[in-house]
Structure 1
Amino acid sequence: MDAPSLRERQKEKRRTRIYHVAIDLFKQSGFQATTATDIAKASNVSRGTFFNYYPYKEAVLLDYGAQIMARLRELAETRLAQGHAPRSVLEEVWDKLAEESGQERGLIPPLAYEVMNPSPERARTAYQALPLSRVIELILRPMQQAGQLRSDLSLQRMSNLIADTYLIIALRWSAYGTDRSLSEEMRLTLGFLMEGVVKR
């Protein structure tokens, strides 16, 4: 594979700078209050250049979420390769996701909205960037192969249901809050969900 050219390296460096500036602004000023113009100005690029890298402001969040998903997948693959039980791996991944989401409460609603965006193209882009269901599917597959999961639902369907439930619970917690932390809320939710997919 050829090494990236100087121009490609410069483009990647600029994209990385825009991304980090945008995330910092979202955390400091709030996602809704931050405009594409704010991000461009703080990144020392034109507004048009910002849109060359990110077609809409929410696309920055997809990069943010994709990085979290990549870390979760790596964690799951490592733990499974080490011989940890799939259920304990799922709990660890679930806790890690709740921890990361809980630290950036203000970024959950706009990120969740992208997954449910009325625009089919944007919703599909978000779904592909945030493959939580595929991480869950990876973890549950050994349980299915061992005959531990119910057989009337496909592995993909069960994984999608668990991932979708995470999104809704995180969104509700972010918007309204509860007496429990997001990690506690999610542990309760996962226990309930697993009761529904494990074969009796």
Structure 2
Amino acid sequence: MDSTSLRERQKERRRARIYTVAIDLFKRSGFQETTATDIAKAANVSRGTFFNYYPYKEAVLLDYGSEIVERLQDHAVARMREGAEPLTVLHEVWDRLAEESVKERDLIPPLAHELLNPDPERARTAYQALPLAKVVELILRPLHVTGRLRTDLSLERMTNLIADTYLMTALRWSAYAHDRPLREEMRVALNLLLGGIFRSG
């Protein structure tokens, strides 16, 4: 057996164990209350080993968010192959995103903070790990190609605005507005934005 591939598999298994343990602790004990030392102890690794795989605690959340975005993209690709209308697919993805966000409401603020991190390198890493705008772009591209969207803004700019709106809507809801369902809040925000990106006439 190739020793290099064996080491790589061992590293992947160790990273997966650290990730699984960390997410479980975040959900049970709270993100802020869980330390890197707690995670390392529960995963049976040293604190230094934890930091070899995740340079900071929030980096674990980026893997978690990346999994969610990947599932959303898989759904969008499958539905569009079936011939579903782009706006129907976008609303489906939006609703699934709301469901995920409600299910893990306590993880939204620290995850959002990484995207807004004052350290540009960490913010860039978060943006690359959570390419929600790319999923929206994939869905809206057929509408852009057929000339149904406005032409004075690039597709990338419009999809970034939509993704940013999710972030701020979910963050505000998580922190303050528990009297209204997040799905409803997100639908209102999305429909307002969609009204602004279609060509008039």
Q: TM-score, normalised by structure 2?
A: 0.96
CA deviation after TM superposition for structure 1 residue 188, in Å: 1.2
Distance between the aligned counterparts of 1:143 and 1:41, measured in 2?
51
Superposition map of 1:155-194 within 5 A: 155-194=155-194
**Farther-moved stretch of structure 1 (5-14 vs 45-54):** 5-14
Deviations 1:166-191 (A, max 9, x none): 10000000011232211111111111
In the alignment, does 2:11 pair up with 1:7? no
**1:62 maps to which residue?**
62
Secondary structure at the aligned position of 1:33 is classed as coil
Distance between the aligned counterparts of 1:199 and 1:145, measured in 2?
13
Deviations 1:130-184 (A, max 9, x none): 0000110110100011111111110000000000011000000001123221111
Distance between the aligned counterparts of 2:34 and 2:21, measured in 1?
11
| RMSD of aligned residue pairs (Cα, Å) | 1.3
**1:133 maps to which residue?**
133
Q: Which residues of structure 1 form unaligned runs of 5+?
A: none
**1:111 maps to which residue?**
111
**2:41 maps to which residue?**
41
**Farther-moved stretch of structure 1 (174-183 vs 69-78):** 174-183
Secondary structure at the aligned position of 2:10 is classed as helix
CA deviation after TM superposition for structure 1 residue 6, in Å: 1.3
**1:83 maps to which residue?**
83
Distance between the aligned counterparts of 2:178 and 2:108, measured in 1?
15
The count of corresponding residues between Structure 1 and Structure 2 is 199
Secondary structure at the aligned position of 1:5 is classed as helix
**1:142 maps to which residue?**
142
Distance between the aligned counterparts of 1:179 and 1:197, measured in 2?
29
The ranges of structure 1 where at least 4 consecutive aligned residues each deviate by more than 3 angstroms after the TM superposition are none
**1:25 maps to which residue?**
25
Distance between the aligned counterparts of 1:178 and 1:53, measured in 2?
35
Residue type matched to 1:91 in 2? H
Deviations 1:65-99 (A, max 9, x none): 00011111111111111100000000000111110
**1:98 maps to which residue?**
98
Residue type matched to 2:27 in 1? K
Q: Percent identity?
A: 70
Secondary structure at the aligned position of 1:14 is classed as helix
Residue type matched to 1:23 in 2? I
Distance between the aligned counterparts of 1:51 and 1:186, measured in 2?
36
Q: TM-score, normalised by structure 1?
A: 0.97
